[in-house]
Amino acid sequence: MGIVQRLQVRQNQNVSYSESFLQNEDLLPVPEEKRTWGYWNFIAFWIADSFNINTWMIVSSMVQLGLSWWQAWICVWIGYGVVAPFIVANARPGAVFHVTFPVVARTSFGVWGSLWCVFNRGAMACIWYGVQASIGGSCVLVMLRAMWPSVNNIPNSMPASSGTNTRDFMCFFLFWLISLPAIWFPIHKIRHLFTLKAVVVPIAGITFFIWCIVKAHGVGPIIHQPATLHGSALGWGMVSSIMSCISNMATLVTNAPDFASRARHPSAAGLPQLISVPLGFSIVSFFGVIVSSSSQAIYGEAVWSPIDLLGKFLDGEPSHATRFGVWFIAASFIIAQLGTNISANSISAGCDLTALFPRFINIRRGGYVAAIVGLCMLPWNLLKSSNSFTSYLSAYSVFLSSIAGVMITDYYVIHKGHYNVKDLYRAQQDGWYYYTYGINFRAYAAYIAGILINVVGFAGATGRSVPLAATRIYEMSFFTGFGVSALIYWSLNFLFPVRGSKECSRFEEIDVSALVGTNPEMVDRSRESDDFDKKSVASEAVHSVRSRV
């Protein structure tokens, strides 16, 4: 057996050469024994995901913009409350038909056309993996300082051109190293990490919250600080703040099917996510603003980063109790960053790279590729050397919102919940998702239109002089990108109907490929019926597709 054959993942040898680029074990519909995510798993997932450093600091930019703390907190509630239905909507096809984002994207962009969308999201997941790991390294530094204060004085042996020093690189590498075992676990088992995080990290957050209030003898001056913006400036400031929350979740909107594909029941990926997303992120941001307000009373300046604040607690000659408290909270933030990196980046990259190279990569291997890229890209250089880098990463929601606009419109409006699961893994011209040479030009026209409407405003965000109207449009980039792409996609499908859309007279979540040779009355079976909930036609699709391949 040659080295190429040894590197290949397990595949069925009876498929055609073209189909071997469309399927492997991790791309096929998830079998029933791996659908282990229940209601509480999705709740624990979002509680765990909300407890991270970025969420803790999210109100800081709003207060610095000129909002009062309570106005900023309202923006957080609205922003995450608005984005939650988009997460649920895009998760639905994954939960019903048990397929991941790269496969769901084939329904609208085509079996080959979907690869560009998958590549875009996969590349950004690898970059974000490195960035989040760099933040995790700062947590490791604080934890080590709490145990061995001399760590802070490690002599530097790295050149200035490296962009870092020996101490910081060691901490980054340690975080990167402890992340590797978590990547090994498959999606249906990694839920236990989020359960652990959902228990440990909130305890640490509440402890930190109470500790700072006691240490400051109150909640601090930020709570009493009035807004400095008024009138229309205040209104647009709140709009911008709301959109920053929504844009922060654009990646998780697109990759929602990845986790939903492991749901025991479609409803498990519905209401639990709808409630836990705004609730979790709003509570954590409230902790962040109170702790930062307390820090201003303690140190005379607001310290918005919890890691920087913990570092200040270790300055001087801290007591053993203080060092233990800092160690526990820092260790909890390490778990928080680890969980966030796995959920938002490692698994996303794994699913995407699996779709790009199905003969050689599965989700586990893809996760390790993301980790290697995150290490090799030297993320500390990107963060330090480019002022516009973080702006670019945030602006990437423009591209993702256009993809989501097309996908959601196709599922709910064009094909009305109807899937042809077998055609998701076929590259024949008679397939539903072959379109034109495997690419759906309607989806790409809509995708590009959703990007173009925000291009001028994006140039303004990078420092160019642009009209005010373009800036306002860009400030609402998620909705403008999503709305324009959805409208254009619907219009083009009205003018040039796609295969299968005329047969979908009403919304019915059903796999038509499983109905071949069966009673036609099954098509009209209601998805709300008890029989459908227990033995859905989508489940029949899993068995039929897996038996075929």
Do 531 and 525 form a contact (C-beta atoms < 8 A)? yes
For 148, residues 6+ apart whose C-beta sits below 8 A from its C-beta are none
pLDDT at 145: 93
Could you count the other beta carbons within 10 Å of the beta carbon of residue 127? 22
pLDDT at 465: 84
pLDDT at 75: 93
**Mean pLDDT, the chain cut into blocks of 10 residues (549 residues total):** 67 67 88 91 89 84 86 93 96 95 95 93 89 92 93 87 87 94 88 87 92 88 83 89 86 90 93 94 91 88 88 89 94 91 89 90 92 89 59 71 94 93 90 93 96 86 81 88 96 91 82 61 44 46 53
Could you count the other beta carbons within 10 Å of the beta carbon of residue 65? 20
Torsion on CA atoms 495, 497, 498, 503, rounded to nearest 10: 160
pLDDT at 533: 44
Tell me the whole-structure pTM to 2 decimals: 0.88
pLDDT at 4: 63
User: Is the alpha carbon torsion for 246, 248, 254, 259 positive or negative?
Assistant: negative
H or E, element range at 193: helix 187-216
Tokens of 151: 């760590």
Do 25 and 93 form a contact (C-beta atoms < 8 A)? no
In the block, which residue shows the tokens 């084939």? 106
Q: How far is CA 417 from CA 132, 143, 509, in A?
A: 36, 49, 4
Tokens of 10: 């397990």
Q: How far is CA 382 from CA 164, 349, 390, 460, in A?
A: 11, 20, 9, 21
User: Is the alpha carbon torsion for 46, 52, 57, 61 positive or negative?
Assistant: negative
Q: Give ∠ CA 393-88-404 in degrees, rounded to 5.
A: 45
Type of residue at 474: Y
Do 264 and 31 form a contact (C-beta atoms < 8 A)? no
For 342, residues 6+ apart whose C-beta sits below 8 A from its C-beta are 179, 182, 183, 190, 193, 367
pLDDT at 535: 43
In the block, which residue shows the tokens 């995510």? 37
Among 420, 450, 426, smallest CA distance to 523 is for 420
- Helix 101-109 vs helix 347-356: crossing angle, to nearest 10: 50
pLDDT at 111: 94
pLDDT at 1: 54
Q: Which CATH class is domain 1-153+168-383?
A: mainly alpha
pLDDT at 389: 55
